[in-house]
Structure 1
Amino acid sequence: MNFEELHAYAIAGKVEELNVLSLEGGIYLIEARMHGAAYPLSDARGQMYHLRSIEHAREVLRSFPDLPLNLVHTSVQDEMCGMAAGEEDCLKVPLGFGSAWHH
């Protein structure tokens, strides 16, 4: 899903929550949750849209309506041991849309 599609779904009230996925190597991705399914944000070339930080995610999402926004860390230990990671293996931390640097 590209940015324009995600924005339209968010304004229409179809997005349940937005998750910023924190991956190994300092990589952050955005996914939208709609009807229990995850839809990753892609760039204009159809590639995964990579973010630099949580603040960058807030900047990208600043025009969106106020939605639940979470930081999700996947379990690296299970991946290293060769076990399949499940959603219960993730750490999900609620974030606000506002910057931590501005009050």
Structure 2
Amino acid sequence: MNKQMLSDRAAKGEVRELQLLSLEGGFYVARIRFDHGETTLLGEDGQPLRIRSTTHLRDLLLGVTPFPCVLVQQCAHDEMCGVRDGPIAALRVPFSLGATF
């Protein structure tokens, strides 16, 4: 899904959540969740769009109808050490597409 398709679906109220996934290497990938499935935000080359920060995402989606966003980061230490019992959930931090000062 490219930015224009995301903008169109956001205007229709179809976007339930954008998950900004933190990946190794210091970049992020956006996953968009709908009622019936998920997709990745793609660049003009058809590849997953590499996002540098929440500010970069805000700049990319300037003018798009707002929708809920969450920054998702796995805890590599917990995964490597395996000291916790039960499932290990990712850290999920809500944020807004609106400007921050």
TM-score range, shorter chain: 0.7 to 0.9
Report the TM-score, using the length of structure 1 for normalisation: 0.80
Unpaired segments of 5 or more residues in structure 1? 82-86
Q: Which residue in the other structure is 1:68 paired with?
A: 68
CA displacement at 1:79 relative to structure 2: 5.4
Name the residue aligned to 1:59: 59
- Letter paired with 2:63: S
Structure 2 unaligned runs (5+)? 82-86
- Counterpart of 2:99 in structure 1 is 99
Q: Deviations over 1:33-67 (max 9, x none)?
A: 00152211011111010111110011111211121
Aligned counterpart, 2:84: none
Question: What TM-score, normalized to structure 2?
Answer: 0.81
SS at 1:20's partner residue?
strand
Following the alignment from structure 1 to structure 2, what is the Cα–Cα distance between the partners of residues 88 and 13? 32
Larger Cα-atom Rg: 2
CA contact (8 A) 2:69 2:96 kept: yes
Partner of 1:31: 31
Shift of 1:100: 2.5
- Distance in 1 separating the partners of 2:47 and 2:27: 14
Root-mean-square deviation over aligned CA pairs: 2.2
Q: Which residue of 1 aligns with 2:50?
A: 50
Q: How many residues align?
A: 97
